[in-house]
Amino acid sequence: MGTDENPILKYKRLWLCAGYAIVVLVVYLSLASHPLDLNLGFPNQDKLYHAAAYFTLMFWFAQIYHRARQRGALIVAFVSLGLLMEFVQSFSPYRYTEVADMAANAGGVLLAYFLTRYRLRFMLLRVEAMLL
């Protein structure tokens, strides 16, 4: 498979549905009146949550879409989603907008993008091979 080809996934619809569920979960957690707090005991741990959420989004969809234009669109979409969620939080009495959260969201997206450019981009294909 070339470096700019999408993999042939037998369960692509399932993987897309799971990906959209992750998007819904991230939006829900971004807007919930009581933010998730695992109390890991270090300062600014919410930035780790932000980066992990947006890393997961990009990592998941980067398993399905490999073409440069598609991956560029994913970066734009997920960074924009992160910015939008922070903006929408400013209307909530329970949440507030932070530039550092926006940076953590974008950082998660970019880290996943770079990690899935080569070796880690066929994880779903490997899962399917193990299932079949």
The pTM for the full model equals: 0.90
> Per the domain annotation, does 26 fall within a domain?
yes
Q: Which of 39-43, 51-55, 107-111 is predicted least confidently? A: 39-43
pLDDT of residue 109: 98
Greater pLDDT, 3 or 38: 38
Count the domains in the chain: 1
> Per the domain annotation, does 2 fall within a domain?
no
CA atoms within 13 A on the CB side of 91: 6
> Per the domain annotation, does 6 fall within a domain?
no
Structural domain that includes position 118 = 12-32+46-131
Q: Taking all residues of the chain, what is their mean pLDDT, rounded to a whole number?
A: 91
Over the stretch 69-83, which tens digit does the pLDDT of each residue have?
Answer: 999 999 999 999 999
> Which residues are CB-contacts of 87 (< 8 A; sequence separation ≥ 6)?
97
Q: Cα separation of 23 and 79, whole Å?
A: 12
Over the stretch 20-44, which tens digit does the pLDDT of each residue have?
Answer: 999 999 999 999 877 666 677 778 8
Q: Classify residue 89 by its DSSP letter.
A: H
What's the distance, Cα to Cα, between the start and end of the chain in Å? 19
> Per the domain annotation, does 4 fall within a domain?
no
pLDDT of residue 34: 76
**Minimal CA–CA distance to 100: which of 38, 55, 49?**
49
